[in-house]
Structure 1
Amino acid sequence: MLRTTKGLMLATDVGFVVYFAVTGLGLIPLQWAFADYTNPLMVDWNWSFLWIDLLAGATGLTSLWLLRRDQASGPSLMLVSLVLTMASGLMAIAFWTLRGDFSLAWWIPNLYLLLFPIPGIISLTRRPMTSDA
């Protein structure tokens, strides 16, 4: 189970970094993915996720690196990353629910962020944390 979680974490954590790099550098017209991106409130909402997403990505990538080197701190850091990722998805889903906006373009990726960490979190918390996760 953790093998699948590790693969999803790698893709997600790299995705966090790439998303904010591409967004910050203005490399794509965000109106394609975010129809209301010209609204300052929505721009601020989007950027409010910068720190939690980058922290989730940094802890996740570091945990994967530590796990490859059989370091005892890898599973603990992996748990931190998964919880941060899940919190990010939950925050977004809560926002879109409050707004009554049910666009699949935003719900699908944020439900993914909310749900994919669950099996890994369960696995990491049901047994002692060792480096052979």
Structure 2
Amino acid sequence: MKVLLTVTEAGMLLYWALALAAVAGWQLVPPEQMYSDYENPLIVAWNWSFFPLDVGFAVLGLLGRFWLRDPVLKQLVAVIALSLMFCAGLMALSFWTIRLWFDPIWWGLNLWLVILPVFALVHGQARRERQII
């Protein structure tokens, strides 16, 4: 589970590093591969509205997993990070459902952001219950 979460969080930070590079004029990835309707200013604003959620869950997840030592604080930060990850994926899927837009890769990635935190929370809860017994 730790590897899956770490790869997901690092991937999200990479996505936003590429987006920031594009803003700086370094187009490392073709814009049409970043998200659909990339020339529409409303969609560009919508995409950037995810920046705090995405970077928040990625930074908090990595911070909690690799830096924090207090088990209570570590668990609190993990739950917050997983909640933000879930919300980011669900909001994206909701928006594109309303727009009736479907791309299997894009949907798959956002479904991953919805499903992974659920499994991580269930996995963590089961592990805590085993420790109590």
Matching of residues 91-106 of structure 1 within 5 Å:
91-106=91-106
Contact 1:83 1:121 in 2 (8 A): no
> Of 18, 21, 30, which aligns to 2:17?
21
Q: Which digits, 9 at most, give the CA deviation of each residue in 1:66-94, with x for residues without a partner?
A: 46xx4312222111111110110000010
User: How many residues in Structure 1 have an aligned counterpart in Structure 2?
Assistant: 123
Percent identity between the aligned chains?
33
Residue ranges of structure 1 left out of the alignment (5+ in a row):
none
Partners of 1:111 and 1:118 lie apart in 2 by 11
Q: Which amino acid is the alignment partner of residue 90 of structure 2? A: L
Name whichever structure is richer in helix by fraction: 2
**How well do the aligned residues superpose, as a CA RMSD in angstroms?**
1.9
What is the 5 A alignment of 1:1-133? 4=1, 6-26=2-22, 27-66=28-67, 70-72=69-71, 73-125=73-125, 127=128
TM-score by length of 2: 0.83
The amino acid of 2:16's aligned partner reads F
Structure 2 counterpart SS, 1:31: helix
Q: Mark the runs of 5 or more structure 2 residues left unpaired by the alignment.
A: 23-27
Distance 1:125 1:74 in 2: 14
